A = this chain, B = another copy of it.
Amino acid sequence: MYVAQPIEWTDRGVVMLDQRRLPAEEISYTYNDYREVAKAITEMVIRGAPAIGVAAAMGVALGVLRSPAQTLEALRTEFAEICETLAKTRPTAVDLFWAIERMKRRFASLSSATSDLAKIREAMVTEARQVHIEKKATDEAIGRYGAEFMPAEGQVMTQCNAGALATGGIGTALGVIRVAVEQGKKLHVLVPETRPYLQGARLTAWELHRGGIPLTLITDNMVGHFLKTGKVGAIVTGADRIAANGDTANKIGTYQIAVLAKENNVPFYIAAPISTFDLTIAGGEQIPIEERSAAEVTHIQGVRIAPDVNAAHPAFDVTPARYIAAIFTERGVARAPYNESLRALAGS
């Protein structure tokens, strides 16, 4: 089954799919300079926290590989600059810093053990590819755990894009659906368009379409109608941050889907890696909600759709844990009470 590849390490350089132009155009770029990778992250050629982490790791490896340094000392100096440049791309994406820290640790360990620059370069590339491989393995494990909760046949629903494009693997929520379909389950996916950015319409619809998984695109205000009338068997979405009690921040609109699911007795699931857990936060009310530009509401793809009025754009909302039937992670499935189950998974 076709899996979109947002980023790939090749002998020619780092190949990235331009997600800003999907679905109208499928254009890839090949980067041979780490500064180009940094720019691509900043300008959102790639998006989705896990995929950004992979991009950062590959950017660091590319910088080390292409560095003109002839001595370890020169390479060390340039390495610091490479990391600094990549760290400045997106200030809030946690995976970005995690990936850069990991590359730093690897560089420190290598450079204390050898001064063979060729060896160091090769090992850094291997480490970046390893980050990508691990992301893929995480998605696949989440997919296997979650697939069991999908119905044998019929309609399921997702939200936004928690697919291959967002992770570099098979996706989290879409990974669950993919694995279920590969297991022979006959699923048809209802895809809310997910305004204002239309990640559902632009990215999830495209991924499913390319993967041969049947879908129906709907507007966000059709969710309730289809949950009431459409015999939906399950809903699965990704997560941006999960508090210790299971309250989950995710793309705006997730909360109301969860409420409508409960009202219509449809199980609502979260699919997310352990790295999404934030156990330092007791409950969802402490998760800050990013407020983005109102112009993204009053305009669609540059076309003004409303008069010059006040508009709100909270980018995320919080779904209280009581609406969540289970959380699928790479280490297993968490169920209520989440205060216990999340801690157990995180600690194992």
Residues of chain A at the chain B interface (Cβ within 8 Å): 23-24, 192-196, 198, 201-202, 205-206, 208-209, 214-226, 228, 252-253, 255-256, 259-260, 263, 294, 297-298, 300-301, 303-314, 317
Contacts and interface: CB of A to CB of B under 8 A. Distances in A.
8 contacts: A23-B306, A193-B306, A206-B306, A216-B309, A218-B312, A225-B256, A256-B256, A303-B303
Contacts of A223: 256
B201 A305 contact: yes
A124 B215 CA distance: 54
A301 B299 CA distance: 11
B253 A312 contact: no
**Chain A interface main SS type:** mixed
A216 B310 contact: yes
Copies of this subunit: 2
Contact of A263 (B194, B220, B259, B312): B259
B224 A195 contact: no
Contact of A195 (B24, B221, B310): B221
A260 to B, nearest CB: 6
Nearest to A22: B307
A162 B226 CA distance: 24
B218 A194 contact: no
Among A23, A297, A306, max chain B CB count under 10 A is at A306
Contacts of A205: 306-307, 309
B301 A201 contact: no
